[in-house]
Amino acid sequence: MAACRRLAAGLRDPQKVAAFQRLCGVEGPWGWPEAEQRAGGRGPVANGGPAGRAAGDSGAPQGWRRRPRRNSLSGEEEEEGGCQEFATRSRLLYYLFSLGTELGNELFYILFFPCCIWNVDAWLGRRLVIVWVWVMYVGQCTKDVVRWPRPASPPVVKLEVFYSSEYSMPSTHAMSGTAIPLALLLLSYGRWQYPLIFGLILAFCWCLLVCCSRIYMGMHSILDVIAGFLYAILILIVFHPVVDLIDNFNLTYKYAPLIIISLHLALGIFSFTLDTWSTSRGDTAQILGCGAGVACGSHVNYLMGIDLDPPPDTLPLSLSSLTVTVFGKAILRLLIGVIILLLTKIAMKKATIPLACKIFRIPLNDVRKARQRMEVELPYRYITYGMVGFSLVFVVPRLFSFMGLS
């Protein structure tokens, strides 16, 4: 037991994260060795926040200089203190790991799931959404229960502050970066014709890139990433055998929409009670809303006799049927469809935030602070992304059918 604790402490050590960053050519602000000594005198900074600079510190890191990316809900204190300029000697690694971390962000999801449902296989896409929702929900709730802070900075260089307000254990990027490619392989192999080795290589590279990117970005310790990887596999073992049952329930059960909406909303309210505000609460409501929207839209398709799945006589599916015309239509569908989803998101956001503020009598003069209130954030995220999910599987495919793009 003592050996396990020592191993866990070693894997959680921020110095190992900093060593990996240095190996990849990342350099922090000038004067960090002194700052690190001061931080060591008083323990890790809360939730991985930065320590102050030494008096007289000046200069800038050598190499290609950048500033961390941040989101619209980052506070002023976080923006000023947590966004020191850093430098990297390898632009290739910076862009490679930036791509890896984007594989767990909203931009990727709003391209990947629509592409899968509209252009590849709606049957596969619905099941991937189910897996993604449960993996991310369990991961986000676990963070707020365990409450481990981000790696201390210094010595770690923060290359992004998108999720600095969240806790660290487990890495939900590592969880999604493990669950999605593995579920894609498990669900598609046999339904699609491709060499198994190709699927294994894709899943391995996808998972490795996402996991390493979180250490490179300074957002997770090695232990966070390993725990996220193993946690995702455990959840897949539990949920993979029942994915077909869940999808069939969503499609065919008479009261499925009522149960789905109520269940996802209750799960969202529960997650909001676990801790004080962080971006993980909004992300959780967003994920649950999207999952509910996809499930309800699929149910409406079933009731109307609309089948987006490939006909059974075409199975197993093959990529050999891909032609220039088919590819062109796929790109056109993706372009038009994603624009509609983004417009839906913008319209619902503009409608739900003021409405929620008015209903719960919350001042709207500071939108950032208003969005951090549960009474605003939960309905705003849940309704907005619920409509995005519903449009993904029902509204946009109906538009494609009308335009002759099905």
Residue 125's nearest CA partner among 231, 243, 286, 285 is: 243
| Cβ–Cβ < 8 Å for 352, 371 | no
* Helix or strand holding residue 276 (H, E): none
How many CB atoms within 10 Å of residue 199?
18
297-332 burial by CB neighbour count: b if 16+ within 10 A, else e?
A: bbbbbbeeeeebebeeeeeebeeeeeeeeeeebbee
- List Cα–Cα distances, 134 to 116, 175, 208, in angstroms: 19, 11, 21
Residue 249's nearest CA partner among 264, 241, 236, 259 is: 259
CB under 8 Å to 38, separation ≥6 — which residues?
51, 52, 54
* ∠ Cα 80 58 44 (to 5°): 55
Query: What dihedral angle (degrees, nearest 10) is formed by the CA atoms of 158, 160, 161, 166?
Result: -80
Catalytic residues: 173, 220
Q: Is 304 helix (H, G, I), strand (E, B) or coil?
A: coil
Check residue 52 and report its DSSP letter.
Answer: P
* Helix or strand holding residue 210 (H, E): helix 196-216
Using left for φ > 0, alpha for ψ between -120 and 50, and beta otherwise, residue 374 falls in: alpha
CB under 8 Å to 303, separation ≥6 — which residues?
none
